Structure 1
Amino acid sequence: MTNLGDLEIFSRVISMGSMSAAGRALGLSPAVVSKRVKRLEERLGTRLFQRTTRQISLTEAGQGFYDRIVGILSGIEEAEAFVSGRSGAVRGTLRISAPTSFGRMHIAPHLKGFMDSYPDLVVNLVLTDDFSDIVGGGFDLAIRIGELSDSSLVARRLAPVRRVLCASPDYIARHGMPATLEELSGHICLPPHTQDVWRLEGPDGSVTYRPHGSLYTNSSEVVREAVFSGMGIALRSTWDVGPALKSGELRQVLPDYEGSRNVVLSAVYPSRQFLPVKVRLFIDYLAELYGSHPYWEH
């Protein structure tokens, strides 16, 4: 019978992307991880990974095997979490995916308070502007900013997200302040992607506007730097630019219009019968920290 420890190592290599990273997370050397994976392959009589000098990827057999064991490992973790919750102990690794800017500004500074309360818990925070595959990526939960859609995942709303149009005083001095939404067509806009549409709430209700510009990027932080440097007008969240609006480093454009109110900050996690204690505790921590009137709005 296959050793459950070998299955956990195999799963961790997939979620971490390399044997060395998996070893660090599990407290094992890369050599031990490699040996345990090889032992599992020998036990199964098939190759699970394709290995090159730069990367590691699943074979077709490896993918099929992972798809079949991930639920088993999840069930074991839930059972341990149930017992841990009854005993008051919280252990293991909490793997979180979050947007790059938000994670840097509003999660990382508050991790110490959470981790001080649970010293036996290891937190693995992965920052990315892409929507991570929670199950396939081995995440316990993801923090997401956007409109909630129907899916097999469970989402808990953490805080509202208010987004405003803004530009630097230098840009306004050079190009003028638009007085109507129609006048935006004569301005340089900074949408993150070429196909993005700005969904706005205005005096006459919901409207959409397709912005046009000369800079397109998949990085929200690049857009942020561009608006601060005076390149154009952007739709930004107040959690991101609130202090700059207050100090005058940025100016709000068309204050009668704001981003769609359907965009919210949420914690998303796999739909499970039993929510692991470590996940519930972290979600509760963020919900209390942000609340219906988050501190960045003050």
Structure 2
Amino acid sequence: MGALERRLGAQLLQRSTRVVNLTDAGRTYFQRMKPLLDEVAHADSELMGSTGELSGLVRIAASATFGRLHVLPLVPKLLALHPKLKLDLQLTDGVQDLLAEGIDIAIRISPTVSPDAVVRRVATTAMVCVASRQYFALHGFPKTPEDLVHHNCLIFNGINQWVFNGPRGRRSVTVSGNLASNTVETILSAVHAGVGIGMFNSASLAGERLESDVCRVLEAFIGQTRDVCLIWPSRKFIPVRVRQVTEFFASELSGRLGPNGESDSHDAVR
């Protein structure tokens, strides 16, 4: 860096004993050079990708339950196809800043993303309302969405407005209950324990076949769906390995989930 500064006749970095920051000149130089460096990296990546040998790190983010059910089972096949590839799989139900966290691919259900992101829909999943037979034996079955105001509804991620469709059209019902959580796993476990009623996308239940003591309700009133999407956090340079890993998951998830987000897996809920 010192040699570059001497050649340019400008200080690019402001150095102290604890931190190094870009100077104004350094920031300007970086902004002008970054597109050129990206093009070089792009050319290198294209050349290496043309050999069919993918290598390097790809960081993938997915919600915890969906990732466990549908993304993680595909990882062995991907790594067997590309042994030099390295994956960093981040499973969390929290909202992430994909660029700040260095995520290459996010797998989300009906995501809210920045305008710079590239979103590709690969499947659709229906919404379902479920509870255990144990719960319904004690509290009765809701016959209409409005009946939910008399039931213990389990709140995921602060969403207490549940949307339904019916003869009177689209409407939302404000629900409440004695348990809320930021993870689908917690709500699903509470449903199985007979605590209350939960609202899920079917992809989060697919592959975990509903046990005989858990059933769906109000199906005639639930018509809304959610999109399962693959997201690149930026429209700028995308390495070949990220593009090909995206293509892999697009193909595999589409086949695995089917048109309605229903998995063919026969694993049971535990």
User: What is the TM-score normalised by the length of structure 2?
Assistant: 0.79
Once the two structures are superposed, residues 62-106 of structure 1 have per-residue CA deviations (whole angstroms, 9 ceiling, x without a partner) of: 8x999x689667555433322222232211100111111111111
Counterpart in 2 of 1:240?
Answer: 204
Q: What SS does the aligned partner of 1:133 have? A: coil
1:90 aligned onto 2:47: no
Aligned 1:1-298 pairs, distance under 5 A = 1=1, 44-46=14-16, 61=21, 77-147=41-111, 151-242=115-206, 246-258=210-222, 260-261=224-225, 263-291=226-254, 292-293=258-259, 294=261, 296=263
Structure 1 position 245, deviation (Å): 5.7
Native 8 Å contact 1:167 1:230 kept in 2: yes
* Residue 123 to residue 87, structure 1, CA distance change in 2 (3 Å): same
The whole-number CA distance in structure 2 between the counterparts of 1:197 and 1:156 is 27
The whole-number CA distance in structure 1 between the counterparts of 2:234 and 2:155 is 33
Native 8 Å contact 1:244 1:250 kept in 2: no
Q: What SS does the aligned partner of 2:155 have? A: coil
Give structure 1 stretches of 5+ with no counterpart.
Answer: 4-42, 50-58
The whole-number CA distance in structure 1 between the counterparts of 2:42 and 2:152 is 51
Opposite residue 296 of structure 1, the aligned amino acid is S
More helix by share: 1
Opposite residue 272 of structure 1, the aligned amino acid is R
Q: Name the % identity.
A: 28
Native 8 Å contact 1:206 1:260 kept in 2: no
Question: Which structure's relative contact order is higher, taking Cα pairs within 8 Å and 6+ residues apart?
Answer: 2
* Residue 168 to residue 89, structure 1, CA distance change in 2 (3 Å): same
Counterpart in 2 of 1:38?
Answer: none
Give structure 2 stretches of 5+ with no counterpart.
Answer: 4-12, 266-270
Opposite residue 45 of structure 1, the aligned amino acid is R
The whole-number CA distance in structure 1 between the counterparts of 2:167 and 2:84 is 52
User: What is the TM-score normalised by the length of structure 1?
Assistant: 0.72
* Residue 259 to residue 245, structure 1, CA distance change in 2 (3 Å): farther
* Residue 75 to residue 224, structure 1, CA distance change in 2 (3 Å): farther
RMSD: 3.2
> Which stretch of structure 1 is more off in the superposition, 171-180 or 278-287?
278-287
Q: What SS does the aligned partner of 1:239 have? A: helix
Aligned residues: 248
